[in-house]
Amino acid sequence: MDNLFNSIASFESTLILEQGLSANTQEAYGRDVRQFYEFLSDKKITEPSCITKELLSEYLDVLKKKERLASSRARALAAIKSFITHLVREGLLKKDVSDGITSPKRQRPLPRVLTEEDMFKLISSINEKTPRDLRDRAILEILYGCGLRVSELCALKITDFVDDGELLRITGKGSKDRIIPVGAAAGKAIQEYLTCSRPFFAKKKSADYIFLTRLGSIFTRAGIFKMIRERAISCGIEPSLVSPHVLRHCFASHLLSHGADLRAIQDMLGHATIDTTQIYTHVDEARISEVHRKFHPRA
């Protein structure tokens, strides 16, 4: 066995004894370092002292060309950095050759959104006037019409509607308040629910929370999630594609596609920075590209 191979065995022992990593992380680190060893072996590198920054950079390029996800490449680099630290500590490598090599930037996945047609299909499928139907439709209209987080929806109180119900005052993350316009459809659904449906659910313990379960309790996040999935199934939409947060994404994405200002969307969503809201521009670009590919005769 070469010295490089022996040093890997020694490193894997330190993972178990010294670093306090989970079993899964230990296994992943060991696998990543052994794959790095295979790369070095192909280049006839058998001594730890022969590992250079250039070799490490080349290996990361190889992983990228193999289309390894940025998250996988980042973990591989973390494992190799840990291995190199071990080599330096053991006197097998003079300096940390991984110093200055930055971790691959992890790409944020694009938010999942429904088309406007599917969104309207989901909401309009609730067309009965039972207390539950009026409540569920009002929930969908508010989630889609105001872009609320599900936790914000569950915490909504009657007093949060201001200016004759045309505005909604939300206390979001970091206890920051924001004002969101209530559109005509959402306003109508809420008014009908409050007048004709909420009294059916309300109990003494209900206080002034808006949306109530059949027991008169405030909704949990899981309860809202379950209701939306059931409504999706009932109108033929794949339930795995729908969640409260998807409706929030739909709110932002559909606003943007109709020309809304990104700063205004940021304010309504309650994002601390514009960078978070910027992701919806990529959703819109993806939609435009899809339309072009589908309809342009030369695409």
The 10s digit of each residue's pLDDT in 200-219 is 999 988 889 999 999 999 99
204-to-11, 121, 196, 251, 280 alpha-carbon distances in Å: 63, 36, 18, 34, 42
Taken in order of first residue, the domains within the chain and their CATH numbers are 3-89 (1.10.150.130), 116-295 (1.10.443.10)
With a pLDDT cut of 70, the percent of the chain lying above it is 91
The band of 124, judged by pLDDT with boundaries at 50, 70 and 90, is very high
Helix (H) or strand (E) holding 39: helix 23-42
Q: What pLDDT band is residue 122 in, cutting at 50, 70 and 90? A: very high
Q: What pLDDT was estimated at residue 292?
A: 53
Number of C-beta neighbours around residue 236 at 10 A: 10
Both structure tokens of 269: 């969503």
Higher pLDDT, 155 or 25: 155
Give the pLDDT confidence score for residue 132 in this predicted structure: 97
SS3 category, 70: helix
Q: Which of 28-32, 109-113, 262-266, 267-271 has the lowest mean pLDDT?
A: 109-113
Between 199 and 206, residue with greater pLDDT: 199
Catalytic residues: 149, 173, 245, 248, 271, 280
Does pLDDT of 297 surpass 80? no
Could you give the dihedral angle defined by the CA atoms of residues 18, 22, 27 and 31, in that order, rounded to the nearest 10 degrees? Answer: -70
pLDDT, one tens digit per residue, over 84-93 is: 999 999 999 9
**pLDDT for position 258:** 87
Residue type, 31: R
Lowest mean pLDDT, pick from 27-31, 110-114, 263-267 = 110-114
- DSSP one-letter code for 259: T
What percentage of the chain has pLDDT greater than the value 90? 55
Mean pLDDT of 255-280: 86
269: amino acid identity, one letter: L
Residue 57: exposure state from Cβ atoms within 10 A (0-12, 13-18, ≥19): middle
Residues in the chain: 299
**Strands 177-181, 161-162: pairing kind:** unpaired
**3-state SS assignment for residue 261:** coil
Closest CA to 212 of 280, 106, 131, 99: 131
